[in-house]
Amino acid sequence: MALEHALLVSLSERSGTGYQLTRRFDRSIGHWWRASHQQIYKTLARMTESGLVTYVEQAQDGKPDKKVYSVTDTGRKALSEWIRTPGNDATDRRELAVKIRGAAPSDIDDLAVEIRRIRDLHAEREAMFLGFVDRDYPEPTVLTGTALQQYLVLRGEVLSERGTVEWLDEVLRALPSPHPRSAD
Partner DNA sequence: GTCTGCATGTAACTGGTTACATGATTAT
Partner DNA sequence: ATAATCATGTAACCAGTTACATGCAGAC
Binding mask 118-137 for its own copies (x = CB under 8 A): -------x---x--------
29-68 residues near DNA, rule: CB under 7 A: 34-39, 41-46, 60-67
**Among 163, 31, 181, which Cα is nearest to 101's?**
31
- Exposed, middle or buried: residue 38 (CB in 10 Å: 0-12, 13-18, 19+)? exposed
Binding mask 53-82 for its own copies (x = CB under 8 A): ------------------------------
Q: Which of 64, 153, 181, 183 binds its own copies (CB under 8 A)?
A: 153
For the chain, give the number of residues: 184
**Among 121, 128, 134, 112, which Cα is nearest to 178's?**
112
Nearer to its own copies, 45 or 159 (CB): 159
Q: Which of 32, 37, 54, 110 binds its own copies (CB under 8 A)?
A: 32
Q: How far is the CB of 107 from DNA (least distance, A)?
A: 22
Q: Which of 37, 76, 101, 117 binds its own copies (CB under 8 A)?
A: 101
Q: Is the distance from CB of 79 to CB of 8 less than 8 angstroms?
A: yes
C-alpha distances out from residue 71 to 59, 74, 167, Å: 21, 8, 30
With CB cut-offs between 5 and 8 Å by kind, which of DNA, its own copies, none does residue 145 bind? its own copies
Label residues 60-95 b or e (16+ Cβ within 10 Å = b): eeeeeebbebebbeebeebbbebbbeebeeebebeb
Give contact residues for its own copies (rule: CB under 8 A).
Answer: 13, 31-32, 34, 90, 93, 97, 100-101, 103, 105, 125, 129, 140, 143-146, 148-150, 152-157, 159-160, 162-164, 166-167, 170-171, 174-176
